[in-house]
Every structure is written in C-alpha cells, then in structure tokens.
C-alpha cells in the first residue's frame, strides 16, 4: 500500500525538508535530502515515509566520531519535523555524455549504464524531431537528450525543453545560442541548428531551459521508440516511470523520493537544485540512466504523462534524479503541447 499524500501532509513534509536542508545540506558528506520510502534490511518500505538523508559514504561509529570532530559531517537525528529519518548512500552527478574514449576505459561489471543498448538512430539527424534523441549546444563537444515539445504560454511559440546543462552548458551562455540536432559529439554542425536558447530556470534552482525552434525541422509530441506524451502528471511515491534517453534507450524505474533538494557541481561552482524526484531500479541489475540521458522526460507508465525532467544520477547504487515537471513548466512559463 502506497502513502497517500494530501495537501496537509505535503505542507508538513515541505516544512520538515526545509528544516533538514537548513541544518544538513551544507554538510560535506551529504548529497541529497528528500522525502520517501525508507529501507529496512535492504528492502523498500513503500507503506512508510521518512526524511531521507543521502550521504556520500556511510560511516561506522568510530569513523563517524572522527568525521564529526573534523566538521566533515553531522549525526542525523532519529526524527526531523516529526518524521522518522533514514540514511542512504548516493553519489550523484549530472548526466551529459562522457567521451567515448573515457567510456571505453571504464570497468564493466554486469549491466552498467556505461554499456548501454543505445540504437544509433538516436544519434542521427532526425526529421521530424521527437523526445529522446541526441542534442547539444553549439559551444560544447558533447550530447544530451532532447526532452520534448512545449509551447510558450504567452506567444504559443513551439520550443524544446531540456536541461540547462544541455542547452546552455555554462554561465557565459546567452539567449540566441544555437542548438544542434544531433549533438556535436554525434556529428552535429552549424547546418544542424534546430533551435536557439531562449531562457532557463537556474535562478530558481531548477536545471532546466527552453530553446525556440527555428522552423528548419518540426518537433512532434512523441518520445522516440516509446509513446506520445499525454500532458503533465504528478510524481507519486511508488509509481513506475519510463524514459527514452539518448544513452540508455528505454529504461524503467520506480519513484522512491519526492520534494528533494541537492547540491551538485556545475563546472567550478556547486549549486542547490530543488524539486528533485528520486527514481530507483524496479529490480536488481536494471539500468535506470546513464551519461547522455540528461534532458530526458520521465513518464508515468500508466498514463504517459510527464512527471520528471532527468538531470543526474548515481551508478552505485543505480538511481536517477529528475526535476518535478510541474515546477519546471511553471518556472519556464511553458506547457506541454
């Protein structure tokens, strides 16, 4: 049985998370704080809820004592804001692509995100465009994922919605920067320009941006090899989700955390990112995401409504982080077509 979160409970959760973030988010050993399903004996308890503190490394009592004395961490109380706490390990990073040379040198141990079953068709020049294919800015030799089609709430102009670190990529990026499809690492050049950077949501702690289509190619409301998107939905604890990503193709997961806040490195800076959804494997050894999937849309498998914008992940344990889609749309003043 899943937890039913009504407006009253959600307000309590947000208050407790705000308190937890103020007290612990700047602690060096802490990577993410969210509300979700705790673990007992390694098993997810979907009928329970807790303030979950994700740490880079769990410490034994002696190491914890030394780390606290050195100011590297703080002991987590059993309750925060009236909710029990749970401590998880997780090292999260943004997920634009890594170079093929680096990817080929990584160790293989079973089904890892670095050994994907990605079809080359995601890396090709697409016409019409759709979500789940290769894209990048003109300034970066990389690729991410084209998220999908949205329209400006004021002008109705069609736009691409993806991550800030995919469409902009650095703090020097200005509106008008060209967006290539396919991305530069997949061979994209100036002649493959399909959109221009319009605005982003980093000022409100959301790694999201939109780019206005040039009209050179049409973008349809469909996810590559998956389905049409049926508008926007709300991520609920326990629901199963699916995404179409440039790197790892079609992958599935289960929402285990909501309302999260994290600090991630963007170049030389660490930025606070809010509205984070945590997605985990449905079963052991299942791939959830990998480098190059940044910008993909997570859909509720039951309704095909978009609930999250993928932006980061962890390899061990295998998890994905997404941004709450409703927050992203409101921040950017766009709607899913």
As a dihedral over the C-alpha atoms of residue 323, residue 319, residue 307, residue 9, rounded to 10 degrees, the angle is -80
pLDDT at 60: 82
Q: Are 249 and 308 in contact (CB under 8 A)?
A: no
Q: Look at residue 233 in the predicted model and tell me its pLDDT.
A: 97
SS (H, E, C) 140-166: CCCCEECCEEEEECCCCCEEEEECHHH
Residue pLDDT, tens place only, 112-140? 333 444 457 999 999 999 999 999 999 99
DSSP 204-245: GT---EEEEE-SSS-EEEEETTS-B--SB----TT-EEEEEE
Q: What is the pTM of this model?
A: 0.92
CA angle 193, 195, 197 (to 5 degrees): 120
Domain range annotation of the chain: 1-90, 92-337
6-15, 111-120, 206-215, 255-264: least confident range: 111-120
Which pLDDT score, from 0 to 100, does residue 98 have? Answer: 54
- Domain spanning 92-337: which CATH class is it, in words? mainly beta
Predicted local distance difference test score (pLDDT) of residue 70: 84
Half-sphere exposure of 199 (CA within 13 A, CB side): 12
């Amino acid at each position: 049985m899943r937890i039913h979160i009504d407006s009253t409970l959600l307000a309590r959760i947000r208050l407790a998370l705000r308190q937890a973030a103020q007290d612990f988010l700047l602690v060096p050993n802490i990577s993410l704080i969210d509300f979700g399903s705790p673990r007992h004996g390694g098993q997810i308890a979907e009928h329970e809820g807790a303030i979950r503190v994700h740490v880079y490394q769990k410490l034994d009592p002696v190491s914890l004592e030394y780390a606290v004395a050195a100011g590297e961490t703080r002991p987590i109380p059993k309750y925060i804001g009236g909710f029990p706490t749970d401590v998880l390990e997780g090292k999260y990073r943004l997920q634009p692509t890594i170079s093929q040379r680096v990817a080929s040198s990584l160790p293989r141990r079973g089904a890892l995100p670095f050994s994907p079953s990605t079809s080359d068709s995601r890396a090709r020049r697409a016409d019409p465009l759709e979500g789940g294919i290769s894209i990048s800015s003109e300034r970066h030799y990389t690729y991410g994922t084209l998220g999908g089609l949205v329209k400006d709430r004021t002008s109705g102009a069609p736009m691409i919605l993806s991550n800030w670190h995919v469409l902009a990529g650095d703090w020097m990026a200005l509106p008008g920067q060209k967006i290539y499809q396919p991305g530069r690492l997949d061979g994209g050049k100036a002649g493959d320009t399909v959109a221009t950077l319009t605005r982003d949501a980093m000022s409100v702690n959301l790694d999201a941006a939109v780019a206005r289509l040039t009209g050179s190619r049409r973008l349809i409301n469909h996810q590559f090899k998956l389905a049409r998107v049926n508008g926007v939905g709300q991520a609920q604890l326990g629901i199963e989700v699916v995404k179409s990503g440039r790197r790892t193709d079609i992958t599935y997961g289960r929402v285990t955390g909501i309302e999260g806040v994290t600090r991630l490195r963007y170049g030389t800076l660490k930025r606070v990112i809010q509205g984070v959804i945590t997605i985990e494997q449905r079963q052991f050894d299942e791939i959830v995401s990998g480098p190059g999937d940044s910008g993909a849309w997570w859909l509720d498998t039951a309704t095909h409504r978009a609930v999250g914008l993928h932006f980061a992940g962890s390899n061990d344990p295998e998890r994905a982080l997404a941004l709450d889609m409703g927050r992203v749309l409101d921040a950017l003043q766009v709607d899913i077509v």
